[in-house]
């Protein structure tokens, strides 16, 4: 029996993917690197540190520049999200949270800014538990962020439905033994039998 729902943050609850893409693109431009949408798909769902490790291996960012790149990316991102509001919520999220408000609800994110943004847009009160990269250092596809979230909700993985939009997040939830749904990312819909365009289509 399903007793709880765990939502990824970026791309499932709120449309911050464009902010992440632009902040990576702007910060990497200083290193004469053309950051593409294909690059972004590869790091989607990863922590900042693993993202920069991947980009370093592909684009040969000099080791000594990694910390500088991380800081620059985060500074640009924080400036971009100053304007974020509840208008940036993904379609159907508010309705879903109201419909399933009596169930246990959690957020499991690789972002370090999930709690800050949820509070900023006045949506943090919908969730019983919010676990992000400040709590769990291992990034998706490691399932620990989901496992910690379900533990804090007082539920077993098989009692929870996870909603994800990235390949690494989907893999993490599957590894953890959760019922997994891919939301909105048709490019990788072939990876699962549970695909929905938005949360209103979950039944």
Query: Residues 27, 134: contact at Cβ < 8 Å?
Result: no
Query: Residues 166, 144: contact at Cβ < 8 Å?
Result: no
Q: What is the pLDDT of residues 126-172, one digit of tens each?
A: 999 999 989 998 889 999 999 999 999 999 999 999 999 999 999 99
pTM of the predicted model, to two decimals? 0.85
Spatial separation of the C-alpha atoms in residues 70 and 80, rounded to whole Å: 15
Spatial separation of the C-alpha atoms in residues 110 and 187, rounded to whole Å: 21
Spatial separation of the C-alpha atoms in residues 56 and 192, rounded to whole Å: 30
Residues of the chain with CATH 1.10.150.240: 17-82
Report the alpha-carbon angle 96-102-104, nearest 5: 85
Q: What is the pLDDT of residues 61-102, one digit of tens each?
A: 666 778 888 889 989 998 998 889 888 999 999 999 999 999
Residues of the chain with CATH 3.40.50.1000: 4-14+86-201
Q: What is the pLDDT of residues 154-163, one digit of tens each?
A: 999 999 999 9
Which CATH number is 4-14+86-201's, of 3.40.50.200, 3.40.50.1000, 3.10.110.10, 3.40.109.10? Answer: 3.40.50.1000
Q: Which two tokens stand for residue 133?
A: 């990269």
Count the Cβ atoms, other than its own, within 10 Å of residue 148: 18
Task: Give the sign of the dihedral formed by CA 40, CA 43, CA 48, CA 53.
Answer: negative
Integer CA distances (angstroms), 118 to 22, 34, 93, 109, 126, in order = 20, 31, 13, 12, 10
Task: Judge: domain 17-82, CATH 1.10.150.240.
Answer: yes
What is the set of active-site residues?
8, 10
Task: Give the sign of the dihedral formed by CA 63, CA 67, CA 70, CA 76.
Answer: negative
Query: Residues 66, 187: contact at Cβ < 8 Å?
Result: no
pLDDT in the model for residue 63: 66
pLDDT in the model for residue 111: 85
């Amino acid at each position: 029996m399903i007793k709880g729902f765990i939502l990824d943050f970026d791309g499932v609850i709120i449309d911050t993917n464009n902010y992440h893409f632009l902040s990576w693109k702007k910060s990497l431009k200083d290193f004469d690197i053309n950051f593409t949408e294909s690059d972004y798909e590869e790091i989607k769902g990863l922590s900042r540190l693993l993202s920069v490790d991947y980009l370093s291996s592909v684009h040969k960012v000099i080791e000594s520049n990694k910390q500088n790149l991380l800081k620059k990316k985060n500074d640009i991102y924080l400036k971009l999200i100053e304007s974020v509001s509840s208008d940036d919520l993904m379609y159907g999220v508010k309705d879903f949270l109201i419909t399933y408000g009596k169930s246990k609800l959690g957020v499991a994110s690789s972002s370090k800014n999930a709690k800050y943004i949820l509070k900023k847009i006045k949506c943090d009160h919908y969730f019983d538990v919010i676990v992000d990269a400040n709590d769990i250092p291992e990034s998706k596809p490691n399932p620990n962020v989901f496992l910690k979230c379900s533990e804090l909700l007082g539920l077993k993985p098989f009692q929870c439905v996870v909603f994800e939009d990235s390949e690494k997040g989907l893999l993490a939830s599957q590894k953890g033994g959760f019922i997994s749904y891919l939301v909105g990312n048709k490019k990788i819909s072939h990876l699962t039998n549970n695909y929905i365009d938005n949360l209103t289509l979950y039944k």
